[in-house]
């Protein structure tokens, strides 16, 4: 019988996950399809019950349901528990368990740049994505991670939990030249004339500047970093690798990520840089 998978979110019409997973199902000879489902917060419980009744084999969860889905599931793994957020649900028999592949997806993407775990890393932001990335960096041996955030208390809390350091924004701006990798995880600075979340005045040429936002493909943060002679990494890699890890959890197969990065990049109309 044909299997089916889904992504639930609000909004969802912009999602590139169906294109990505349907392509991988085809490439791997799997008779399955991937459906985007618009679920408003007030309908989450009902939507999950319908997915179960209709026998979904697994699904992705995106904004704003990443936390709200947790009490509905039969359990979560350590990564999702640490992040207090689920982006991937895996079915085992009748049980639906939550996981989170965002942080590992980012680190897989970062490793394509051959960045050394000895690098000094600055993480800008302390929200859901930054949380996953800070834990994943630590798991993968990046020992020197500093977090800065608009609300400093959140940076301090995340740093304490993930074994990182925290730094107030003004100090991070002054010491920007000390860092080898700077990772932008907020969604600010995307609009015309909007300030970046941090001034890049003191960034050092040769630093790797990574932005996890992938639409636009080259964010204002990456444009400024490029002008300053930095290497850049956009968010397409994180998106594709988080999907690839979910795909492997569902099917046991490792999909082709290089072709997918090309395909998504072309779809978004930019150049993938690493």
Catalytic positions are 66
**Judged by CB under 6 A, which of 182, 212, 246, 261 binds ligand NDP?**
212
Using CB under 6 A as the binding rule, whether residue 129 contacts ligand NDP is answered as: yes
Taken in order 40, 43, 45, 50, the sign of the CA dihedral is: negative
Instruction: Specify the residue, 3 or 19, whose C-beta has the smaller distance to ligand NDP.
Output: 19
Q: Count of residues binding ligand NDP (CB under 6 A)?
A: 23
**Judged by CB under 6 A, which of 36, 103, 235, 255 binds ligand NDP?**
235
Using CB under 6 A as the binding rule, whether residue 216 contacts ligand NDP is answered as: no
Q: Are 268 and 236 in contact (CB under 8 A)?
A: yes
Using CB under 6 A as the binding rule, whether residue 211 contacts ligand NDP is answered as: no
**Judged by CB under 6 A, which of 86, 238, 244, 261 binds ligand NDP?**
238
What does the alpha-carbon distance between residue 125 and residue 189 come to, in Å, rounded to a whole number? 13
What does the alpha-carbon distance between residue 99 and residue 37 come to, in Å, rounded to a whole number? 19
In sequence order, what are the residues at sequence separation of 6 or more whose Cβ sits closer than 8 angstroms to the Cβ of residue 208?
113, 115, 119, 180, 181, 182, 230, 231, 232, 233
Strand partners, 33: 4
Binding range to ligand NDP, per CB under 6 A, among 69-77, 137-145, 158-166, 236-244? 236-244
Using CB under 6 A as the binding rule, whether residue 213 contacts ligand NDP is answered as: yes
Q: Are 98 and 45 in contact (CB under 8 A)?
A: no
Using CB under 6 A as the binding rule, whether residue 146 contacts ligand NDP is answered as: no
Interface positions with ligand NDP (CB under 6 A):
102, 125-130, 149-151, 154, 185-188, 197, 212-214, 235, 238-239, 242
């Amino acid at each position: 019988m044909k299997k089916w998978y889904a992504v639930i979110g609000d909004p969802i019409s912009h999602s590139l996950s169906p294109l990505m997973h349907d392509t991988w199902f085809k490439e791997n000879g799997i008779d399955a399809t991937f459906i985007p489902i618009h679920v408003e917060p007030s309908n989450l419980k009902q939507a999950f019950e319908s997915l179960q009744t209709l026998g979904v084999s697994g699904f992705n969860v995106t904004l704003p349901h990443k936390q709200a889905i947790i009490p509905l599931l039969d359990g979560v793994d350590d990564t999702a528990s640490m992040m207090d957020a689920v982006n991937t649900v895996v079915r085992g028999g009748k049980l639906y368990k939550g996981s989170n592949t965002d942080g590992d997806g980012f680190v897989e993407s970062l490793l394509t740049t051959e960045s050394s775990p000895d690098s000094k890393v600055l993480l800008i932001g302390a929200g859901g994505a930054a949380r996953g990335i800070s834990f994943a960096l630590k798991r993968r041996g990046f020992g020197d991670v500093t977090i800065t955030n608009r609300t400093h208390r959140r940076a301090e809390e995340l740093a304490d939990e993930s074994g990182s350091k925290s730094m107030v924004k003004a100090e991070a701006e002054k010491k920007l030249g000390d860092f080898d990798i700077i990772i932008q995880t907020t969604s600010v600075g995307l609009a015309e004339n909007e300030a970046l979340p941090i001034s890049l005045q003191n960034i050092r040429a040769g630093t790797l500047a990574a932005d996890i936002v992938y639409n636009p493909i080259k964010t204002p943060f990456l444009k400024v970093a490029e002008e300053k002679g930095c290497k850049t990494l956009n968010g397409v890699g994180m998106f594709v690798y988080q999907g690839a890890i979910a795909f492997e959890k569902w099917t046991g197969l490792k999909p082709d990520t290089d072709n997918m990065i090309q395909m998504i990049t072309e779809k978004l109309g930019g150049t993938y840089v690493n």
